Amino acid sequence: MAEVLGLGLTHYPMLAGADTHMANLLKGTLRDPDIPEQEKDPGGWPAIMRQEWGDDQGTRAAAEHRRELRSGLDRVREELDAFNPDVLVVWGDDQYENFREEIIPSFCVLAYDDTEVEPFGVLNKLKVPNVWGLPDETTFTMQGSPVFARKIVSDLIASGIDVAYSYEQRKGINFPHAFGNTQVFLDYENVGKKFPYPMVPISVNCYGEHVIARKGGMARFAEITKGEQLDPPGPTPRRCFQLGQAVGRAIRESDKRVALVASSSWSHAFLNDKAWHLRPDTEADRRLYDAMVAGDYAAWTAVTTKEVVAAGQHEMLNWFCLLGAVQELGLDLSWSTFVETGIFNSNKCFAVFQESASS
């Protein structure tokens, strides 16, 4: 009989960069000529944004944001080590990385062998130095678990969920950062060294109607207002929840100790069109956070794709998968925290779900 731990964390790329660059996504947005000047004026921003922006464009606040994120990551890593899993199963998004115009699977299990991963691909593209002072081309090994991955795929298909699977990553890309950063951030003190646990990544098409249209998420308003050619939607939140339930059932039948992980921040400023990409939709995030803490999964499965997209919560589909598994396996939320920010692109959430003492 399997034993299971559930975890949620962020893969926020700017956490791997120096404090002076932590607000770079907002700084880039402020250079968008099609955003009205009065929206860009810090004088009109909500209090949390003004406070974080300060007189140094967020550098001091970045140190505090990093401290909060590291504290969440440390807690998650402690729980992971105490549980000592055989394998991590991680839900993460693919931002025009492994999957592009040739094919966009709603869900794809990456049944890879050990893979060399370049963790600083996103930072290199943004010309941001990494906070560890490591060479740009640093790599680490992500241990795979291809046999177990194939078993999960087989069980999912047998249960009526026709997931895709992949045995080889796309050539010439940086490994999808949702998974790469999961390992980097869980091992923040030892980047580039051997991480003790293998990983089965499950790609979720979180970006849906924007996956090709915005090639990884960030778009200028000129492109949006001239009329985007939207892609078909991603899987619905409810379907993600069902996938999580099915993964939960597949895991339950195994004899492994499995850590199920949702890897992503919550609402993203650069996807929150209604706020001019300046800040995340904190109200929408708070609503779902409160429902998660209350164990009110019906509130989660009632969320529509339209609502997710309107709130810039695209990547939260990873969390819908996790919560489906949590519900299916009867795990209890034992600890969580919500890290709110105005200027650092996205609110972040950390969570630990454990088997209840009685089960």
Task: Please give the residue ranges that form the binding site for Fe ion (CB under 5 A).
Answer: 93, 178
Quick check: 198 and 147 in contact, CB under 8 A?
no
Task: Report, in Å, the least distance between residue 204 CB and Fe ion.
Answer: 10
Which lies closer to Fe ion via its Cβ, residue 93 or residue 281?
93
Q: In angstroms, how far is CA 19 from the centroid of its own chain?
A: 21
Quick check: 207 and 117 in contact, CB under 8 A?
no
Which lies closer to Fe ion via its Cβ, residue 9 or residue 326?
9
**Nearest residue to Fe ion, using CB?**
93
Task: Report, in Å, the least distance between residue 284 CB and Fe ion.
Answer: 17
Secondary structure element (H or E) that encloses residue 88, with its range: strand 87-93
Which lies closer to Fe ion via its Cβ, residue 58 or residue 180?
180
CA distance 256 to 294: 29
Q: CA-CA distances (angstroms) from residue 160 to 146, 156, 235, 355?
A: 21, 7, 15, 26
CA distance 359 to 356: 6
Which lies closer to Fe ion via its Cβ, residue 93 or residue 187?
93
Task: Report, in Å, the least distance between residue 176 CB and Fe ion.
Answer: 8
* DSSP 3-state of 252: helix
* Helix residue ranges per DSSP H, the chain: 24-30, 37-40, 47-53, 59-83, 121-126, 146-158, 177-186, 221-225, 237-252, 282-293, 297-301, 305-310, 317-329
Name residues whose C-beta falls within 8 Å of residue 294's C-beta, 6 or more positions apart in sequence.
none
Task: Report, in Å, the least distance between residue 54 CB and Fe ion.
Answer: 27
Task: Report, in Å, the least distance between residue 330 CB and Fe ion.
Answer: 29
Which lies closer to Fe ion via its Cβ, residue 19 or residue 93?
93
Which lies closer to Fe ion via its Cβ, residue 111 or residue 204?
204
Task: Report, in Å, the least distance between residue 15 CB and Fe ion.
Answer: 12
